[in-house]
Amino acid sequence: MEKNTSSSSSAAHVLIIPFPAQGHVTPMLSLAKLLSFSGVFTTFVNTESIHRRLSVSSDLTDRRRLRFRAVPDPLTGGADEELDFSSKFIKLQESMRSCSTEAYKKLLLTEELAGEWPPVTCVIADGILDYAIEVAGEVGIPTLVFRTSSPCCAWAFASLPSLIHHGIIPFPAECDMDEIVKGVEGMEGILRRRDLPSFMRMVKSTEDNYIKLMNGFNSKLIIGKAIIFNSFDALDPTILPIMSSYYPPIFTIGPLHLLTKFFNISNEKEQEQEPGKNPCSSSLRQEDRACMTWLDNQPDKSVIYVSFGTVTVMSPEKFIEFWYGLVNSGHRFLWAVREDMVKGKQEMEVTKEMEEGTKERGCMVEWVPQKEVLAHRAVGCFLTHSGWNSTIEGMVAGVPMICWPDLVDQMVNSRFVSDVWRIGLDMKDTCDRNIVERMVREVMEGEIALELRSSAARMADLARKSVEENGTSRVNFDSLVSYIKSIELPRGS
Residue 24 a catalytic site member: yes
C-beta closer to ligand UDP: residue 371 or 376: 371
C-beta closer to ligand UDP: residue 41 or 199: 199
Angle separating helix axes 130-138 and 85-109, nearest 10 degrees: 30
Contact call for residues 14 and 379 (beta carbons, < 8 A)? no
**Smallest distance, Å, CB 105 to ligand UDP?**
28
C-beta closer to ligand UDP: residue 190 or 336: 336
Contact call for residues 322 and 405 (beta carbons, < 8 A)? no
Stretch (H or E) spanning 333: strand 332-336
DSSP 464-487: HHHHSTT-HHHHHHHHHHHHHHHP
**Smallest distance, Å, CB 282 to ligand UDP?**
8
Contact call for residues 50 and 20 (beta carbons, < 8 A)? yes
- Helix segments in 305-368, DSSP class H: 316-329, 352-361
How many C-beta neighbours within 10 Å does residue 102 have?
Answer: 11
Strands across the sheet containing 303-307:
362-365, 332-336, 303-307, 379-384, 401-403, 424-426
Contact call for residues 103 and 72 (beta carbons, < 8 A)? yes
**Smallest distance, Å, CB 385 to ligand UDP?**
6
DSSP 206-262: TTSHHHHHHHHHHHHHHHSSEEEESS-GGG-TTHHHHHHHHSS-EEE---HHHHHHH
Q: Out of 24, 331, 376, 385, which one is annotated catalytic? A: 24
**Smallest distance, Å, CB 284 to ligand UDP?**
8
Q: Which residues contact 425 (CB under 8 A, 6 or more apart)?
A: 401, 402, 403, 418, 439, 442, 443, 448, 452
Contact residues for ligand UDP (CB under 6 A)? Answer: 22-23, 26, 283, 307, 309-311, 336, 367-368, 370-371, 387-390, 393
C-beta closer to ligand UDP: residue 220 or 385: 385
C-beta closer to ligand UDP: residue 67 or 385: 385
First-last CA distance in the chain: 31
**Smallest distance, Å, CB 393 to ligand UDP?**
5
C-beta closer to ligand UDP: residue 42 or 307: 307
User: What does each C-alpha distance from 356 to 323, 328, 347, 360 come to in angstroms?
Assistant: 12, 11, 20, 6
Contact call for residues 375 and 393 (beta carbons, < 8 A)? no
**Smallest distance, Å, CB 414 to ligand UDP?**
12
**Smallest distance, Å, CB 367 to ligand UDP?**
4
- From the list 43, 32, 30, 39, the residue with the least C-alpha distance to 3 is 39
Neighbouring-strand partners of residue 146: 126, 228
Neighbouring-strand partners of residue 143: 123
Contact call for residues 53 and 21 (beta carbons, < 8 A)? no
C-beta closer to ligand UDP: residue 209 or 413: 413
**Smallest distance, Å, CB 236 to ligand UDP?**
17
Neighbouring-strand partners of residue 250: 227
C-beta closer to ligand UDP: residue 43 or 307: 307
**Smallest distance, Å, CB 338 to ligand UDP?**
7
Q: Out of 59, 73, 126, 130, which one is annotated catalytic? A: 126
Residue 126 a catalytic site member: yes
- From the list 306, 301, 459, 324, the residue with the least C-alpha distance to 384 is 306
C-beta closer to ligand UDP: residue 27 or 471: 27
Cite the active site residues: 24, 126
